[in-house]
A and B are shown apart, each in its own frame.
Chain A
Amino acid sequence: MQSFLKLARLMSLLIACASLSACDDVRVYGSVGYSNYSGYGGYHGGGMRTGVTVGGRIY
């Protein structure tokens, strides 16, 4: 019983600490990386492109 209570105390503290350390990150952009969004993740594709039409402001 004593060892169970010790374990329960330890788990409570660990859960509280883990929740605190992660909470502010998750609230804004942190949830993006944890979602199923696989990510544009920056452009790391092949070499320089030619022959493509890029848009831009018209007026």
Chain B
Amino acid sequence: MSAKRRCIAIGFLGAILVAACATTNINLPSVTDTPTGERLPGKVIWRDLLTHDAEMSQRFYAELFGWEFENIGSAAGLGSNSAYTLIRHNGILIGGMIDTIALNNKNDISQWVVLMSVEDIDAGVASVTAQGGEVLTPPTNLQQRGELAIVRDAEGALMGLLQTRDGDPADREPEVGAFLWDELWTTDVNNATTFYEEVGGLEAANWDIDENQQSDATYRLLKSGEVPRVGIMPNPLEDLQPVWVSYLRVDSPAAITAQVAGLGGRVIVEARPRPLGGEVAFIAGPSGAGIALQTWPLEESN
């Protein structure tokens, strides 16, 4: 074989390898062990923790909330460099964790990312674009999990849209230590409300969460039918970019915050009574990813 032909052959082989890469199968498990077979558009059905300190984050959440972690990176077809870890609480799937060190990102993207259910992923991303958002990762087939797109909303908050393959988790009351609620802290509540009404098929209602505060404390509750799905409120921390904040159900926020620093995290908002009842706190894990704590139900909290 001549040198020229060898060169062409090597180039051809390279093209085949690249094509194979493009069709690599990623197979992430379903977001629930008991899929309902139906989708619940507008519902947050999964949360992924992006962290640049996976080991410390794992210890942090395991110690505070009793979470269990199972690394499935290689088994999922993501390759040995890409760590993907399932998170369970009392054996029930509640989320995932991605080691961002393996992603070689140029920016620190540590945070919790919520995935909202959509009936049709293509229509969902089209709606994102139409409403002024940006599609960062176009719809990607994750097999058992379904099709996922990662987007930024119109105010810049990162989130995902997921069209599940086998259906969404049924609505159920969370156990202590599990996810209770999801809320967008943003700069333009009205614009964000329009965005999620269109993208998630939700309807908004106003709630005054603190009568002693000024009018910007008004809370926007987004519902699917009669079921509350998410909240939107003005960002209470002025130096924080728009972000989705997930809440965990806890018995005592103060008991949790007392342990946070010792596990490498930080208390951002100390445990305090909520105007509408119960107690709340806001903490950050070792990577800086923020998460809120809330007692539930309200009538059993003081």
Give every chain B residue within 8 A of A30 (Cβ-Cβ): 103-105
A20 near B18 (CB under 8 angstroms)?
yes
> Which bracket fits the contact residues of A?
35 or more
A54 near B292 (CB under 8 angstroms)?
yes
B274: shortest Cβ distance to chain A, in Å?
A: 6
A58 near B207 (CB under 8 angstroms)?
yes
Assess A25 versus B7: contact at CB under 8 Å? Given A41-B110, A53-B275.
no
Q: B213 near A: Cβ within 8 Å?
A: yes
User: Who on chain B is nearest to A7 by CB?
Assistant: B7
Chain B interface helix/strand/loop/mixed: mixed
B261: shortest Cβ distance to chain A, in Å?
A: 11
Give every chain A residue within 8 A of B140 (Cβ-Cβ): 27-28
Give every chain B residue within 8 A of A43 (Cβ-Cβ): 237, 240, 266, 268, 284, 288-290
29 A–B pairs (Cβ distance < 8 Å), ordered by A: A16-B13, A16-B14, A16-B18, A21-B81, A22-B104, A23-B18, A24-B24, A28-B137, A30-B104, A31-B136, A31-B137, A33-B103, A33-B105, A33-B106, A37-B156, A39-B109, A39-B241, A40-B158, A40-B242, A41-B111, A42-B284, A42-B288, A48-B268, A48-B269, A55-B280, A56-B181, A56-B231, A56-B280, A59-B228
Interface residues of B in 274-302 (CB under 8 A from A): 274-276, 278, 280-282, 284, 287-290, 292, 294, 296, 298
> Which bracket fits the contact residues of B?
35 or more
B150 near A31 (CB under 8 angstroms)?
yes
Question: Which residues of A approach B to under 8 Å, CB–CB?
Answer: 2, 5, 8-9, 12-13, 15-16, 19-25, 27-35, 37-46, 48-50, 52-59
Question: Which residues of B approach A to under 8 Å, CB–CB?
Answer: 3-4, 6-7, 10-11, 13-15, 17-18, 21-22, 24, 26, 48, 50, 77-79, 81-82, 98, 100, 102-111, 113, 134, 136-137, 140, 142, 148, 150, 152, 156-158, 180-181, 183, 207, 209-210, 213, 217, 219, 221, 228, 231, 233, 236-237, 239-243, 247, 266-270, 272, 274-276, 278, 280-282, 284, 287-290, 292, 294, 296, 298
User: Who on chain A is nearest to B21 by CB?
Assistant: A23
Q: Residue B21 contacts which of A19, A31, A42, A52 (CB distance < 8 angstroms)?
A: A19
A25: shortest Cβ distance to chain B, in Å?
A: 5
B42: shortest Cβ distance to chain A, in Å?
A: 16
A32 near B109 (CB under 8 angstroms)?
yes
Q: How far is the CA of A34 from the CA of B106 in the complex (A)?
A: 6
A42 near B289 (CB under 8 angstroms)?
yes
Q: How far is the CA of A29 from the CA of B272 in the complex (A)?
A: 35
B147: shortest Cβ distance to chain A, in Å?
A: 11
CB-CB nearest 7 A-B residue pairs: A42-B288, A33-B105, A16-B14, A23-B21, A41-B108, A57-B181, A42-B110
B113: shortest Cβ distance to chain A, in Å?
A: 8
